[in-house]
C-alpha cells in the first residue's frame, strides 16, 4: 500500500476502523483496484457476433429502448442503416457528423472530442412488438418472428411499471468512459428522430464480470458478482448456451442471441440493516472473499450437497443454489448486468438503486424464464429486491462490412 493511501486511511480513521472490523488492508486495496481503462482501446463493430455480447464487460452502460412511430419498412431499414453507420464511427472514437458547420448546427454533439473510443460497443436488439403489436404486423415481419422471442410470462414476484418495460428496439451502449457512453446515446437518439422515440433509458456502472481477465467486481449489496458466470473465453459454453442457432432459431438469427433485461430494485436500507450471516445465507456465498459457504476461496467449487449438522450448508433458498445449473436442467445464461442509482428513496432516505440485469442466451424459454420461475418461487433474495422493469429482445448476429444490423431480415 502506498504511503499516501496509508496516510489517508490513518487521517480518516478508516485504517483503525478496518482493523477493528477484521478487514485486512489488502482487501481494502483489492476492492478498489480496477484495471486502468485504456482511452484508445477500440472494439470493432463488424464481426460474426455483435460486439457487446461477449466483450469483456466495460465499466459503464447506457441502455435505451425505442418505440417506432413509423409503419414503413423502408423507414426501419433507413433507421438501422443510419444507426449502424453511426455505431462504426462511435466505436472508432470519431464523430457521427461534421463538427465545423458554421451557421448550421453541428452534425455531432461533440462531447467525446479528445476522449478516445474507450472500448465502446453498441449492440442492437429487436423487441417482440417489432414483429407483432397487438396482433398488427406493421412491418411485414410477423412470419419471421423467432420462436425463442416470446413475451416474458408474469412471475409471482413481479412489480412491473409499464413505463419501464418493453420497446420496439433496444440499444445497449457500453464503454470504459461514462461520457463516451453518454455521447453515443445522445447522438443515436438524435439520429433516430423522428422515426424512433425513446421509451425508457437507464445509465449503469459497476458491471458483472464475464471474462477470466477481469477481477470480479462487487454489486451494490457488497457481494462479488459474476464469479460463476459464463466466461467470454469459454467457447464451448457460448456455443451451447448463448448463440442462436437451429433448430429453434431462423437462419437470420444464427450467431445472434436473445437478451432479457430486468430492472431490479434493491431495498438497500433494509439490506444494510441485515446481519452479515443472513446476507451470506441469502446468496450462499461469503461476502468478503466471494467463496461459496462450502469453501474458502472465490472460485472454490459450490458443493450443493454439503451439510452441517444435517442442515444444508448452502441454504435451500440461497440464490446460488436456485440459480445453479443443477436446479435448472443444466441451463446457464451469460450475465452482463450493471448497477444503477436513481436518487434517494423518500420512504427510507436510502439510496434508491439496484441492478439493470441483462443476460444473453440461446433460448429464453429454457434459460432465463425457467431460472426466473425457480427464483421467483423461493429465492431468499426476493425479500430484498423487486423487479420493476422488463424487456426481451432478439439481437441479430454481427454485421459484415458494407451491411447494417438486421439487413438479412429486412431484405
Ligand atoms: C438484484 C438482483 C440480483 C443480484 C444482486 C444477483 C447477485 C448474484 C450474485 C452475488 C451471485 C453469486 C456470484 C456469481 O456467480 O456471480 C449470483 C449468481 C447467479 N445469479 Fe444472480 N443476482 C440477481 C438476480 C438474478 C436473476 C434475476 C437471475 C436469473 C433469472 C440470476 C442468475 C444468476 C445465476 C445463473 C448465477 C450463478 C449461479 C451458479 O451457478 O453458481 N441472478 N447472482
Q: pLDDT class for 25, splitting at 50, 70, 90?
A: very low
Q: pLDDT class for 213, splitting at 50, 70, 90?
A: confident
The set of long-range contacts for 149-156, using a CB threshold of 8 Å and a minimum separation of 24, is 149/258, 149/364, 149/392, 149/393, 149/394, 150/364, 150/365, 150/369, 150/392, 151/392, 152/260, 152/364, 152/368, 152/369, 152/390, 152/392, 153/369, 153/373, 155/372, 155/373, 155/376, 155/387, 156/376, 156/377
What's the rounded mean pLDDT across residues 284-290? 98
* Residue 273 confidence (pLDDT) above 70: yes
pLDDT at position 347 is: 87
* Residue 276 confidence (pLDDT) above 60: yes
pLDDT at position 187 is: 98
Nearest of 222, 203, 210 to residue 263 by alpha carbon:
203
Q: pLDDT class for 47, splitting at 50, 70, 90?
A: very high
pLDDT at position 203 is: 98
Pocket test for ligand 1, best of 225, 315, 341 (most atoms within 8 A of CB): 225
Compute, in angstroms, the gap from residue 320 CA to the centroid of ligand 1.
6
What's the rounded mean pLDDT across residues 297-304? 98
Compute, in angstroms, the gap from residue 147 CA to the centroid of ligand 1.
26
Could you give the percent of the chain with pLDDT greater than 90?
87
228 in contact with ligand 1, CB cutoff 6 A:
yes
Pocket test for ligand 1, best of 209, 262, 357, 372 (most atoms within 8 A of CB): 357
* Residue 290 confidence (pLDDT) above 90: yes
What's the rounded mean pLDDT across residues 244-258? 98
pLDDT tens digits, 333-344: 999 999 999 999
Q: CB neighbours (10 Å) of residue 103?
A: 4
Helix (H) or strand (E) run with residue 265 in it: strand 257-266
pLDDT at position 16 is: 38
Compute, in angstroms, the gap from residue 323 CA to the centroid of ligand 1.
7
* Residue 356 confidence (pLDDT) above 90: yes
User: Which residue is closest in CA terms to ligand 1's atom 33?
Assistant: 323
| Span of 37-46, 154-163, 227-236 with lowest mean pLDDT | 37-46
| Span of 7-11, 97-101, 120-124, 230-234 with lowest mean pLDDT | 7-11
What are the percentages of helix, strand and coil residues in the chain, rounded to 5? 30, 20, 50
Nearest of 284, 288, 286 to residue 303 by alpha carbon:
284
Pocket test for ligand 1, best of 214, 222, 228 (most atoms within 8 A of CB): 228
What's the mean pLDDT when you consider all of the chain?
92
318 in contact with ligand 1, CB cutoff 6 A:
no
302 in contact with ligand 1, CB cutoff 6 A:
yes
pLDDT tens digits, 223-250: 999 999 999 999 999 999 999 999 999 9
What's the rounded mean pLDDT across residues 101-115? 97
Task: Quote the cell numbers at residue 53.
Answer: 455480447
* Residue 384 confidence (pLDDT) above 90: yes
* Residue 12 confidence (pLDDT) above 50: no
Compute, in angstroms, the gap from residue 308 CA to the centroid of ligand 1.
24
Residue for cell digits 465499466?
Answer: 59
pLDDT at position 10 is: 38
352 in contact with ligand 1, CB cutoff 6 A:
no
User: Which of ligand 1's atoms lies nearest the C-alpha of 225?
Assistant: 16
pLDDT tens digits, 144-153: 999 999 999 9
Asked if 294 and 300 count as a contact pair (C-beta separation under 8 A), the reply is yes
pLDDT tens digits, 174-209: 999 999 999 999 999 999 999 999 999 999 999 888
User: Which residue is closest in CA terms to ligand 1's atom 10?
Assistant: 225
Could you give the percent of the chain with pLDDT greater than 70?
91
Amino acid at each position: 500500500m502506498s504511503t499516501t493511501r496509508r496516510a489517508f486511511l490513518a487521517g480518516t480513521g478508516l485504517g483503525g476502523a478496518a482493523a477493528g472490523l477484521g478487514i485486512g488492508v489488502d482487501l481494502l486495496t483489492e476492492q478498489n483496484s480496477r484495471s486502468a481503462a485504456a482511452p484508445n482501446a477500440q472494439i470493432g463493430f463488424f464481426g460474426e457476433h455483435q460486439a457487446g455480447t461477449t466483450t469483456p464487460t466495460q465499466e459503464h452502460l447506457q441502455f435505451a429502448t425505442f418505440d417506432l412511430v413509423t409503419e414503413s419498412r423502408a423507414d426501419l431499414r433507413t433507421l438501422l442503416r443510419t444507426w449502424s453507420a453511426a455505431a462504426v464511427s462511435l466505436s472508432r472514437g470519431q464523430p457521427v457528423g461534421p463538427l465545423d458547420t458554421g451557421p448550421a448546427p453541428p452534425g455531432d454533439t461533440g462531447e467525446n472530442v479528445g476522449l478516445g473510443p474507450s472500448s465502446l460497443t453498441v449492440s442492437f436488439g429487436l423487441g417482440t412488438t417489432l414483429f407483432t403489436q397487438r396482433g398488427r404486423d406493421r412491418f411485414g415481419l410477423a412470419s419471421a418472428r423467432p420462436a425463442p422471442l416470446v413475451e416474458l410470462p408474469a412471475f409471482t414476484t413481479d412489480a412491473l411499471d409499464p413505463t419501464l418495460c418493453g420497446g420496439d428496439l433496444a440499444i445497449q451502449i457500453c464503454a470504459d468512459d461514462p461520457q463516451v457512453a453518454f455521447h453515443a446515446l445522445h447522438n443515436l437518439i438524435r439520429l433516430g428522430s423522428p422515426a424512433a422515440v425513446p421509451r425508457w433509458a437507464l445509465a449503469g456502472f459497476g458491471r458483472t464480470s464475464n471474462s477470466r481477465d477481469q477481477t470480479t467486481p462487487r454489486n451494490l449489496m457488497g457481494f462479488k458478482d459474476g464469479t460463476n458466470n459464463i466466461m467470454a473465453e469459454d467457447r464451448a459454453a457460448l456455443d451451447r448456451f448463448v448463440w442462436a442457432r437451429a433448430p429453434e432459431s431462423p437462419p437470420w438469427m444464427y450467431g445472434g442471441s436473445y437478451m432479457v433485461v430486468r430492472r431490479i430494485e434493491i431495498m438497500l436500507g433494509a439490506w444494510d440493516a441485515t446481519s452479515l450471516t443472513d446476507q451470506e445465507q441469502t446468496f450462499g456465498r461469503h461476502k468478503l472473499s466471494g467463496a461459496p459457504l462450502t469453501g474458502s476461496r472465490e472460485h472454490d467449487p459450490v458443493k450443493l450437497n454439503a451439510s452441517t449438522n444435517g442442515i444444508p450448508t448452502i441454504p435451500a433458498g440461497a440464490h446460488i443454489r436456485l440459480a445453479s445449473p443443477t436446479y435448472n436442467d443444466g441451463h446457464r445464461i451469460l450475465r452482463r448486468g450493471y448497477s444503477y442509482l436513481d436518487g434517494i428513496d423518500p420512504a427510507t432516505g436510502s439510496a434508491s438503486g439496484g441492478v439493470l440485469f441483462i443476460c444473453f442466451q440461446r433460448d429464453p424459454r429454457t434459460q432465463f424464464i425457467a431460472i426466473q420461475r425457480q427464483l421467483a418461487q423461493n429465492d431468499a433474495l426476493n425479500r430484498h429486491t423487486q423487479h420493476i422493469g422488463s424487456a426481451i429482445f432478439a439481437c441479430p448476429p454481427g454485421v459484415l462490412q458494407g451491411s447494417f444490423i438486421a439487413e438479412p431480415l429486412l431484405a
